[in-house]
DNA sequence: GAAAAATCTTGACAACTGTCCAGAGCGTCC
DNA sequence: GGACGCTCTGGACAGTTGTCAAGATTTTTC
């Protein structure tokens, strides 16, 4: 596709800047991330940010929206291909432990921005959208476990999501203490999510 | 106790400033809270902060330590006085829903600072201490439920804490959307924590 | 009551922030 | 070739930040 309209090129630049912003936010956190730092992690100078985005908030919002396209379908293959409840839990837990280690910056960014949304109303709607997407993701896992005969769901979708999410955030905080701690956190996360899932669908 | 040593007075000033910092941080969030704003919410001027604290980090750290003395014993009475598993869960859930509404700023601050600790190593140890304290708090609730004949614990203490904490954070984020949303979040939180507790100790 | 010490205010500093803008560089079209 | 529009740079702006220090004020000590 050589034919790139002007609109396409603009959208591509916005994506480039968003990727750079995601990297920077995941590294430094929202409180310490400035527009210049984001631009420094991109091929452009700091002025260009305001050429493609009206606001800092608009850029961050764009980032958060971009994030959801990366995350929310992560377990779909495992859900589709599982044949036993045991196998489903094993696969899900393996993916979760791996993404904790591989995509740590992305996850750090997500929890940071979700917390920021408490103080910054401009972020709330987008954060809420993603939360619902992630909740549906967990819901599909639970529903599939029920379908495979693991039992019945003892809590609703929102409760299951919040509980699993709590475990993931706990692991992410623990993983920030260093490489060894991250490895251990990933192992514990796997065990704990498995135990929890078996408790809430039985 | 009229006899106040010099050390006592210093400690009292540090507490006053910490209280003001807790208020400000809970209102504005870590990213938007400056030393001048903290001082403005206290009877002192901004320069005095560096008279009692070497650093901004030292002040924040002191705040976090102060926070733990407020929070970690919140459910002890309910745990001690409960006579049935049902009654225990009801009491705990009632306290939790109430503190979500009454101490929202304090809880906002806690989740904000815990996330900041991912990016700011200077906060990690204190945050970890509090996390362990809160975990023990949840552990006492679960252990008491078992003691009262609710069944056996299906997950370990850390898992139970992370799951309940996930529900609480979910409710806090939802509560930030306004007064009506906060009321609904408190109700849902109660129902969900009760359902979760009954699932993990059965 | 004077001297000394502790406490607090005020203003300054360098560094940083988000935002904006004048102009340079560029390719495209008449 | 000249004019035009899109893209990007780099600097400037007003405001904020954490930090510090000189001096005023209060409290303590002798």
Q: Is residue B102 classed as helix, strand or coil in its secondary structure?
A: helix
Residues A42, A82: one domain? no
Is B186 inside any structural domain? yes
Residues A33, A113: one domain? no
pLDDT digits (tens, 9 = 90+) for B38-78: 999 999 999 999 999 999 999 999 998 888 878 889 999 99
Residues B94, B11: one domain? no
Residues B45, B86: one domain? no
- What is the predicted ipTM? 0.93
* Number of compact structural domains in chain B: 2
Count of A–B CB contacts within 8 Å? 135
pLDDT digits (tens, 9 = 90+) for B104-147: 999 999 999 999 999 999 999 999 999 999 999 999 999 999 99
Residues A24, A108: one domain? no
Q: Rounded to whole angstroms, how far apart are CA atoms A162 and B192?
A: 10
Is A147 inside any structural domain? yes
Residues B121, B85: one domain? yes
The CATH number of the domain holding residue B14 is 1.10.10
| Domain of B105, in residue numbers | 71-200
The answer to whether B118 contacts A167, with C-beta atoms less than 8 Å apart, is no
Residues B49, B77: one domain? no
The CATH number of the domain holding residue B184 is 1.10.357
Which residues in chain A are contacts of B132 at CB distance < 8 A? none
Is B1 inside any structural domain? no
Q: Which residues pair with B77 in a beta bridge?
A: none
Q: Which of B32, B199, B201 to mutate to probe the A interface, most A CBs <10 Å?
A: B199
Residues A118, A150: one domain? yes
Residues B145, B183: one domain? yes
The Å distance, CA of B10 to C1' of C8, is 13
Residues B32, B94: one domain? no
Residues A95, A172: one domain? yes
pLDDT digits (tens, 9 = 90+) for A124-165: 999 999 999 999 999 999 999 999 999 999 999 999 999 999
**Chain A interface with B: residues with Cβ < 8 Å:** 28-32, 108, 111-112, 114-120, 124, 127, 131, 154-156, 158-159, 161-167, 169-170, 172-173, 176-177, 188, 192, 195-196, 198-200, 202
Residues A105, A18: one domain? no
The answer to whether A115 contacts B112, with C-beta atoms less than 8 Å apart, is yes
Q: Rounded to whole angstroms, how far apart are CA atoms B140 and B196?
A: 16
Is A62 inside any structural domain? no
């Amino acid at each position: 596709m050589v034919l790139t309209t002007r609109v396409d090129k603009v959208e591509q630049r916005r994506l480039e800047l968003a990727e750079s912003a995601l990297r920077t936010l995941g590294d430094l956190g929202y409180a310490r991330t400035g527009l210049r730092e984001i631009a420094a992690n991109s091929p452009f100078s700091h002025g260009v940010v305001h050429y493609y985005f009206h606001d800092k908030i608009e850029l961050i919002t764009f980032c958060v929206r971009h994030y959801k396209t990366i995350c929310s379908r992560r377990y779909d293959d495992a859900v589709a291909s599982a044949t036993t409840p045991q196998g489903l839990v094993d696969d899900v837990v393996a993916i979760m432990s791996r993404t904790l280690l591989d995509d740590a910056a992305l996850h750090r960014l997500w929890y940071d921005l979700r917390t920021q949304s408490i103080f910054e109303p401009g972020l709330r709607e987008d954060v809420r959208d993603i939360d619902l997407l992630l909740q549906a993701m967990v819901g599909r896992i639970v529903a599939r476990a029920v379908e495979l005969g693991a039992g019945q769901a003892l809590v609703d979708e929102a409760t299951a999501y919040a509980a699993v999410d709590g475990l993931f955030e706990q692991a992410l905080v623990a993983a920030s203490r260093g490489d060894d701690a991250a490895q251990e956190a990933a192992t514990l996360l796997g065990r704990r999510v498995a135990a929890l899932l078996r408790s809430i669908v039985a």
